[in-house]
Every structure is written in structure tokens, then in C-alpha cells.
Structure 1
Amino acid sequence: MTEPTIDFHIQTHQPQFNIPTQLIKKNFKSIQKLIEKQKKQTSDEITKIKKNSKLPTKIQLEMIRKLINNFETFQKKLQVLIKKDEEYRLRLVARLENIVQLSNYCINGESSNLDDQTKGKNSDGDTPPVEETNHILNLHNPNLINWYRNETNLLIIDYLIKSNTNDTENLGLKLLESLSKTNPKLSRLIDFDLFLDFNKVYLSITKAHDLSLIINWFNENKNSLKKINSNLEFEINYCKYLTLIEVGDVNEAIKFSQDNLSSYGNKDNYSVEEMGNYKLNSDRLKGLGGLLVYRSMSSNPLSNMLAFSNKLMFQSQPYREYEKLLSNQRWEDLGYCFIDNFIKLYGITNNYPLFVYLSAGLSSLKTKSCYHNNENTVFKDDSMETSALENTVPHNDYHNGSHNGFPSTQTPILITSAKFNSYTAPTPTTTTTSNPLTIRKFRGPDYYYRLLHKVNNCPVCSPEMFQLSRNLPFAQLITSIFNNPFRLPNGNIYPFDKLLSTTVNNDEYFSEQNTLLRQGQVKDPLTHEVFYIDNCIRVFPA
């Protein structure tokens, strides 16, 4: 089924319920710990007062006042945690109501409102079963369009908050604050506070090269991370060890490795599920001693007699690996490890939800006509230009200037390049002109657009979407189907009636068409190439 349904939106919105659920669990454990701690502390204070009954009254009163102050502080902390719990639960309710709201925009829901007396009843007066209910959404409903507009805003806010690289200002948060003025419920449909904390920790690692925030985050979630077999603690300690080596504090680095890294080399300290971490960690620990030697040689220049051998040694592959360990790559690796643990802990997707939706839309529009925009500097590299020149131009309504593109992303997306599928058209059998359109490098649709005075508004070919769409599969559909379509040897497709038509108010053209038809030939209306009718092939929709 291609029509949008409520079931589809339930599936796509399911991750939105994971984060509040995990936050409620985490907050509940904090409440338990706070209560247990206060209970023990209060019991100890009361026991101390009872055992020292001979203390002066003034001291006993002071101890009681201290006990009361501690209990008031406990109440304030408990109240803060209770408010957090209420906020997280309100988020779940708001997201549930947001999904339930779609039931008002169903096709069957609108038709049933015409008669409230028969609503939910069949011809026998009974309520129909749930499986027979139609959940197809009516895309012409203006309220549904507003609902989709809010969802789009949330996707953009999610992307801007997570991808923010500015330490002082977050554009996603500013956009959320601006939109929340007209729609207060919007802030409860996204866990912006958690994403802000995530972004702050990630930037402290990759930009500030500071381990304090990631250490605090690990300590707060230590028990939960252990359940998912996290290797984050080793990554933190390993990164700290490399930092000590980099600043030249060798003695402290050796002591730190003995206290915090040596245990990771013992296989008995790992569970069966953590054997992958053991192999990875043990291999990295083997190079710690060699790194010390490398650092001592690079920091202490040798005599002139050994200078030549020292230069050769530094150019060898092992020493290049040691140099790489002390580069900024270790901070990037720690950042990736943090992201991996974060998404596993809260059950969220690895990719930006905005990119997932854009990929689905772009894939439905992508055809082999795409990536021929030779005037776009994005397509200027040789490999793509060669591949683009080998492609033919099938019919595609999204390249005729009648569709607008999607909103552009703010930052480029780094995706591994891929080769495009190519198709070589059969060589024309007969031609009567040397029109530049017969040259393969001019076969790109943009050249046709200039001749037809149209603009290429294809979102797949846009500079903003190029990196995201280049690895997506081609759409397995045809947006517009000719009556009796025929494919010429040069790859162009036209309705056969148009190739045979002589109903043009032009005597010269009328005479030429009649002459060609008597010879069993047809002329390409655009390229003006001439082919025998027997060499034309009838094509069918895929």
C-alpha cells in the first residue's frame, strides 16, 4: 500500500517513546538512591542523639536542627526529581496524543462524521471489527497538512540541535523557542534537553579535548552502560594515557597505565559477551611500550652521528602508526564511541531522522536522468562526469521544471561515493544531421532545458541533496506513461503517434514527414536525427 496510514506513523514515531521511558527509569533510580541515602543518614543521626543522651541540651538541639535542615534539603531534591518525572510522563502523553490526533484525519473518519447516529456501525447496527477500519489518511485535509508541517519542524530542530558545532549558541534551540511561542506542545515532542547535553559532551571531546564531561556522563550511567557491554571506560582511560604521553609526563603515564589499563589485558575480567572488546583492547595495549620509546626518541634529538638513522626510523611504517596514535584521531574515536553508547542506551536511531525521511523521498524521485547537471560544480569530478556521459535520458516528469525541490540542509553530508549505473544507447543506424545533440556529452537534460527554455528543479540533482542521494537506489516507477511508447535507437522515448504525426501547420515540415514515412523512417523531434521505423522498439512500463 502506497497511501500514508496511521500504522506507518506509529512505526516511525516509536523511537520517540524510548527516550522518555529511559529517562523515567533513570530518574526513578535516582529517587530510590536519594531516599535510601536520606533514610540511612537520618537513622544514624537519631541513633547518635539517643546514644549520647548525656550531651548538653544545647548540643542536642543543634544536632536536631542539623537533622531538620538535612531533611528539608532532601525534600527539595526529591521535589526536583518528582517534577522531572512528571515532565517525562507529560512528554509521553503529548506524543501519544499527537499520534492519536491522526485518527481525526482518516478518510473513513471524515465520511463517518456526516452521520453521527451511524458512526461506527454497519448496516446491521453492529460495531465493525477493528481490522476492517480504514486507516488511510486524507492528504487534502488542511489540519493534516499542519500536522506534517509541525513534524517537519521537529525533524529540522532535531538535526540542528544534534549537529551544532557552536559552543555558545544552538540554532536548533532558538528555532524551538520561537516555534513554541505559537505551539507550546511542540517542546514536549522532542527531548531537546537530552540532545543539548549530548552535544555539549561531544563537543568537549572533539573540540575542547576535555575528558571531564565524558567521565561524569560515564559515572552517571555506569550501571546501564555495563548492561550493553560498553567499552567506553577503556576508551576514556586509553585517551587519557595518550594525553599524558603527549604532554611528556611519562612517569605519570606509566603509573596511570598500571592502575587503570593493565586490568584490560586480563581475559578473566571479561564476560563471554565482551570477548570482542577484549581482543580489540589487548591489541591496542601491546603498543603502549613502543609508544614510550617513540616518544623518548622524538623528544630527545640524537647526535649528528645517528641523525641519519633516526630520520630513516621515523619514516618507517611502525613509527608512523605511533605518530597517528598521538594525533587528534584519538579524540574522534572517543567521540564515535560516545555516540555509539548514547544511541544504544536510549534506543534511538544512528542516523538523523531528517536524513531518513529525505532519503525515502529522494529515492522515489531518483531516475537515470539525474546527475547530468554539467553546470553544477558538484558534478565536476572526472569519475562522475564520465559516468554521467554514459547515461541515457529516460522520460522523467521531475526534470521538466514543474516541481520544486526539498528544503536544503545546512551542512554538507559526508557519504562514501559510489558509481552510478550507466547504460549505453545503441548506435543510430541513420542520421542526416550533425546536430550537437547527437554528441553524447550533450545528452544531459540541462542541455534540453536550455533549448526548451525550462529550469531543472529536480531535488535529486540539487547541490544540497547531491551527497545524500548519490548512493540511493533508482526509483522503480514511471511518473508519466505515454500511449504506445516507442524508443528510438538514440535512447529517446516518444509516443509513436507523435513520430508519425503530419498535422503540423508547416508546409516544409509536412513535406519532410511524408517523404520520411514513404521511406519507412521517422525523425526525432528534438535531436532531428532520422532512424528507420524497423529499428525503433516498443517499450513497456517497468
Structure 2
Amino acid sequence: MNKFNPDGQLVIEQPFLRIPHEQTKKAYRLSQKYLEKDLAFVNNHAGELVKQAKKQQLASRAQDGSAASSSATAHKLLDSMLNRLTMLKRKLSDTKADETMYLHRSKLRSVHLNELCTMTSTQDPGYEAWSHTRLNRLLVDYMFRKGYHQSATKLAHDQTIRDFADFELFRESATIEQSLRDQNCAKCLQWCSDNKSALRKVKSSLEFDLHLQEFIELARSQQTRIAIQYAKKHLLPWSETHQRQIEQAMGLLAFSALTTCEPYKQLYDTSRWQHLIDHFRTDNFSLNALADPAPLLLTLQTGLSALKCHHCYHDEDRNINCPVCQTETLGKLAESLPYSHQVNSNLVCRISGHLMNEDNPPMKLPNGRVYSYQSLQAMAVENNGEVKCPVTGQEFLFSEAKKLFIS
């Protein structure tokens, strides 16, 4: 019973390794973007500098006054190039530091998961410590997702698992989601711009939805001329895939925000902001290999699926020691799970929670309820030979209970 299959546990750990890997790739792409953009700027200025040098040479030969002007222009170009290269060095230094940090996290996480593969039983000396670390990082991840950033950060610090927590990713996500709650699309649009190629690969329409919402807000405030200009610039490029939505949006210009006419009433509905938050969260999880639902919930559901049976949701059959039977807590999490298929069952006493076997046989009361011998005997000792059924409240003599033999 103490043996386990590490591969089965590692199946749900893929995001744990993939997140720093994806973050490393993102930092590398960002550094490439900086290089291409800034080097193109420097090359253009270098070409202009060559032209100014030729002009200065010709002016010197002609001995006119334009030589000084060309020299001043050349100095400005050199200063601009130097400033741009200095900024590039600083930005590349930052991205390099990020890459190093994410690679370090990947290494530590790989070592952590590899520890599990060296164990063969839950009785292994290191298994309890490993499980404790896993529980803490799952809790940190869940708290970050729910917005409890200070608590998550403190737990990560106290348990020395900073490298197992994705602080930067969740903080950026929280900032963008808060801006959307404040009905501001700017930060989310910038995020879309930074991840344009990745969003295109997954065929995301988030950027269009954000531009559409900004158009709706312009229509809501009756800024018709600005709204039309905005639509030409930001909505028309999407006409090939979102023609119908664009046509409906343009119709908003003929209706006020108080209209009851569909679909314009729905377009003006402020609940669209929550839709944008959900859309961003989905795309963000997809791009960063974040599991949805949270790994903590997946882990709990994995265990609950092995315990759930048809008796768990019948009041008269619930077991106080069964987590699925706790319908207000873990039972809610197990509602959508299938029932477990149990070929060999274990009988558990409803009173004590102990297994009923040959050393603690099941005993049947006259009302048909079954409890363990040890529980009924302990109850009889305290009540002058009488036992009370905890489900029905009926009282019987301990001698009336009959031993059951299971075949």
C-alpha cells in the first residue's frame, strides 16, 4: 500500500517546469527585439554620419562655412548613437539577468522533481519533506491566482521556496487585470503588443476585443468623430476575420448607451469588462503554460476521484471521515468528478474511522446498520452493555449485534 508510481504524480507537474522555460524564451525574444530595433537605429545613424563626413570634406575643400554645421550634426549623431547603445547595454543586461534567473529556477525545479524519482515508497525518509515542499508551493501558486499576493510571498519566503514561485508572472497578470477592472485597456494592449507573435499562433482575438471595447467606450461618450477614426485605424485591419462584429459595432453610433435594442444593448453592457479579464487570463495561462484549474485543485481532485462513491451524497450513508462526504467543502470540489470504480473495497467504521477486518470484524445491529466490533464494544463498556446507533439514534444491547462474514 505504501508503494507509488512517481510518473503518475509527475504528470500534473509539467507546468511547474514549463513556466520558467517559457519565461526564458520570452526574455530571449525580448533581447533579440531590442538588438534588432536598436542596431537598426545605429546603422541608420551611421549611414547619416557617413553622409555628413562627406559633406564636411567637400565643404573643407571649398572652404565655405558649412563645414562647421556638418561637424555639429556629426557630433549630435554620435551622441545619439552612444546614448542608444548605452540604453541597449542596460536593457540587454536586464534581460540577461532575467534569463539567468529563469534558468536557475529551471535547474532547481528539475532537481526537486528528480528527488521523487529516487523514492520507492511513501515510507522513504525524504518523502514527507518532499511532499511538504510540494504542498507549500501549490498553496503559493493558488494564493497568487486568487490575488493573495502578500500571503503567497510571505509563505514562499518563510518556507524558502522562492525559486518555486512565479512572482513576476502573477504580479504582471494582477496589474493588467486590475487595469481592466478600472476599465482601462492600455496595459493589456501593451501586453498584446509584447506577445503579438505568440498570440497570433494561438489565433487569439484578445487584441481585437480590446480595441472593440475602446471603440464602444468612445461611442458611449458620444465622441462620434473620434470613434470613426479609431475604427478605421484599429478595427478595419481585422475585417477579414471579424467583419460581422465590426458592422454591429458601427451601428452603436446610432444608439445611446441606454438603448434596449439588441445586440447594441449587449455591446454596451459593462459586464464585457469581466469577459475581457477572463479572456486575458485564458490567453496568459496558455502562453505561459499555466495549468487551469490550479495544480492544487487538480491534486485534490485526483485524490477525491479515488474516494468518491454513490453513498457520499446520501445523508443517511455519509461517513464523517470521508472528505467527499463533506458536501460544503471538498465534496463541492468532487461534484463534477466521476464515481470511482472499486473492485476491492475496504470497510471503514463510521464511528472510529478504522478499517473493519478479521481483527476488528463488522457487527450488524438489529436496524441493519454496520459498525466495527471495537467501536461497539467501547460504547457498551461506557453504557452498561448498551450501544446507540449514531445514525438513527436507536439503542440496543451489545449482545444483539451479530458478527458479519464477508465473502
Which whole-Å CA distance do the structure 2 matches of 1:189 and 1:41 have between them?
A: 39
**Structure 1 portions without partners, runs of 5+:** 107-135, 270-277, 300-313, 372-387, 400-457, 511-523
Q: Does 2:140 correspond to 1:154?
A: no
Name the SS for the 1:261 alignment partner: helix
Corresponding residue for residue 470 of structure 1: 335
Corresponding residue for residue 360 of structure 1: 302
Amino acid corresponding to residue 317 of structure 2 in structure 1: V
Corresponding residue for residue 414 of structure 1: none
1:93 corresponds, among 107, 119, 127, to: 107
Name the SS for the 1:295 alignment partner: coil
What pairs with 1:414-425 in structure 2 (closer than 5 Å)?
none
| Matched-pair contact (CA < 8 Å) for 1:482–1:494 | no
2:223 corresponds, among 240, 249, 257, to: 249
Write out per-residue CA displacement over residues 194-242 of structure 1, whole angstroms, 9 at most, x where no aligned residue.
111112212221x211101110000000011101111112211221222
Which whole-Å CA distance do the structure 2 matches of 1:471 and 1:346 have between them?
A: 27
Q: What TM-score does the superposition give when structure 1 sets the normalisation length?
A: 0.59
Name the SS for the 2:176 alignment partner: helix
Which whole-Å CA distance do the structure 2 matches of 1:471 and 1:58 have between them?
A: 74
What pairs with 1:144-183 in structure 2 (closer than 5 Å)?
144-164=127-147, 170-179=150-159, 183=160
Corresponding residue for residue 321 of structure 2: 398
Going from structure 1 to structure 2, the CA distance change for 1:51 and 1:257 (only over 3 Å counts) comes to: closer
What pairs with 1:191-340 in structure 2 (closer than 5 Å)?
191-205=166-180, 207-265=181-239, 269=240, 278=241, 281-282=242-243, 284-285=245-246, 287-288=248-249, 291-295=252-256, 298=258, 314=260, 319=261, 322-340=264-282
| Matched-pair contact (CA < 8 Å) for 2:212–2:249 | no
1:345 corresponds, among 284, 287, 291, to: 287
Which whole-Å CA distance do the structure 1 matches of 2:394 and 2:19 have between them?
A: 58
Which has the larger helix fraction?
2
Q: Does 2:33 correspond to 1:33?
A: yes
Corresponding residue for residue 162 of structure 2: 187
Runs (4+) off by over 6 Å: 486-489, 495-499, 536-539
**Structure 2 portions without partners, runs of 5+:** 57-66, 349-354
Q: What TM-score does the superposition give when structure 2 sets the normalisation length?
A: 0.76
How far apart are 1:460 and its partner, in Å?
4.7
| Matched-pair contact (CA < 8 Å) for 1:38–1:74 | yes
> Could you tell which deviates more after superposition, 474-483 or 83-92?
474-483
Amino acid corresponding to residue 242 of structure 1 in structure 2: I
How far apart are 1:397 and its partner, in Å?
7.2
Q: Does 2:364 correspond to 1:493?
A: no
Going from structure 1 to structure 2, the CA distance change for 1:171 and 1:323 (only over 3 Å counts) comes to: farther
Which whole-Å CA distance do the structure 1 matches of 2:192 and 2:185 have between them?
A: 11
Give identity over the alignment, percent: 21
Alignment length, in residue pairs?
371
Corresponding residue for residue 310 of structure 1: none
How far apart are 1:260 and its partner, in Å?
3.0
Which whole-Å CA distance do the structure 1 matches of 2:141 and 2:381 have between them?
A: 58
Write out per-residue CA displacement over residues 77-136 of structure 1, whole angstroms, 9 at most, x where no aligned residue.
2211111111111111111111223355x2xxxxxxxxxxxxxxxxxxxxxxxxxxxxx2
